[in-house]
């Protein structure tokens, strides 16, 4: 296992990149949430003004479905300049994930591409979000809270008790700061566990892809896959209902955004 880096509280960049990264201008603080208040649009991730205006300090438009393997020097350049191919991003995230989690992530990428293509989204942007959605999943509670402090994420009471829920929001912060993800991608990463009212197409694609990817094997997943081929919203509603039923059966806390997401879908039906 790679030890956490003192530079970022997470795992180090590929060898040879960390020094260059430290020389880069730091991304403005205040990424995930406004300190001390609930966001008016109930967004889980509040991007800096320059990202909201589409003037982010990084480039991701060159993320393409290039399957050829990248050499080490090319991968380092892409990491430094924030220009990614699909294969380069797969290599970059792999050290941050367990073997099981990496296999799951590739499954989510595949499902996200298919869903985006089916429902009129951008498969490349969906793949970008999918590959980054669980990059902080393996972190401890202390490491999650460290990232919350670093990126001004304000956990709610439920997230403090069910701290593993935080990995969506901390992954969104890392996706922006280290991989150049823009506001829409970060929002989809942030809400991929809980959902939210007013989910965008990309939000829905990542949430559903995470639920139905080909490596999942639990009661009800085949039904979810069937619905996903017919209707995105019906499939999502089925997933929320199933998740809520499971949480209630196990006497688990339920995040308010999950309830809001389900109710929002019902109102639209």
Domain presence at residue 225: yes
* pLDDT higher than 50, residue 160: yes
Q: What is the CATH number of the domain that holds 239?
A: 1.10.3210.10
Domain presence at residue 2: no
Domain presence at residue 42: yes
Domain presence at residue 245: yes
Instruction: State phi, psi for 137 to the nearest 5 degrees.
Output: -60, -35
Q: Which residue has the higher pLDDT, 45 or 201?
A: 201
Domain presence at residue 7: no
Highest mean pLDDT of the ranges 40-54, 83-97, 117-131: 117-131
Cβ neighbours of residue 135 closer than 8 Å, sequence gap 6 or more = 93, 96, 97, 171, 174, 175
Domain presence at residue 244: yes
Model confidence band, residue 112 (pLDDT cutoffs 50, 70, 90): very high
Domain presence at residue 13: no
Model confidence band, residue 84 (pLDDT cutoffs 50, 70, 90): confident
How many residues belong to the chain?
269
Q: Which domain holds residue 44?
A: 18-268
Domain presence at residue 3: no
Would you state the pLDDT for residue 174? Answer: 96
In total, how many domains does the chain have? 1
Is residue 111 within a helix (H) or strand (E), and if so which, with residue range? helix 99-118
Average pLDDT for 47-76: 34
Would you state the pLDDT for residue 82? Answer: 63
* pLDDT higher than 80, residue 268: yes
Would you state the pLDDT for residue 13? Answer: 36
Q: Which two three-digit tokens encode residue 24?
A: 């880069």
For a pLDDT cut of 90, what percent of the chain falls above it? 68
Write out pLDDT tens, residues 170-189. 999 999 999 999 999 999 99
Average pLDDT for 143-167: 96
Would you state the pLDDT for residue 83? Answer: 73
């Amino acid at each position: 296992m790679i030890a956490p880096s003192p530079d970022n509280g997470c795992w180090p960049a590929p060898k040879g990149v960390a020094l260059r990264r430290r020389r880069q201008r730091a991304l403005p603080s205040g990424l995930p949430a406004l300190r001390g208040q609930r966001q008016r649009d109930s967004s889980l991730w509040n991007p800096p003004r320059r990202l909201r205006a589409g003037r982010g300090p990084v480039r991701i438009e060159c993320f393409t479905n290039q399957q050829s393997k990248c050499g080490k020097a090319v991968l380092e350049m892409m990491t430094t300049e924030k220009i990614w191919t699909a294969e380069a991003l797969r290599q970059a995230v792999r050290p941050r994930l367990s073997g099981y989690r990496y296999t799951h992530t590739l499954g989510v990428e595949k499902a996200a591409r298919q869903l985006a293509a089916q429902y009129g989204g951008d498969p490349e942007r969906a793949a970008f979000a999918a590959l980054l959605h669980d990059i902080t999943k393996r972190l401890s509670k202390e490491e999650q809270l460290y990232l919350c402090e670093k990126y001004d994420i304000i956990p709610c009471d439920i997230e403090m008790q069910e701290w593993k829920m935080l990995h969506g929001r901390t992954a969104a912060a890392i996706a922006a700061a280290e991989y150049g993800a823009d506001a829409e991608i970060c929002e989809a990463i942030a809400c991929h566990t809980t959902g939210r009212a007013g989910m965008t197409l990309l939000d829905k694609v990542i949430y559903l892809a995470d639920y139905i990817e080909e490596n999942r094997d639990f009661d009800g997943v085949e039904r979810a896959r069937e619905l996903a081929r017919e209707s995105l919203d019906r499939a999502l509603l089925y997933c929320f209902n199933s998740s809520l039923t499971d949480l209630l059966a196990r006497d688990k806390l339920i995040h308010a955004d999950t309830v809001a997401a389900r109710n929002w879908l019902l109102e639209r039906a």
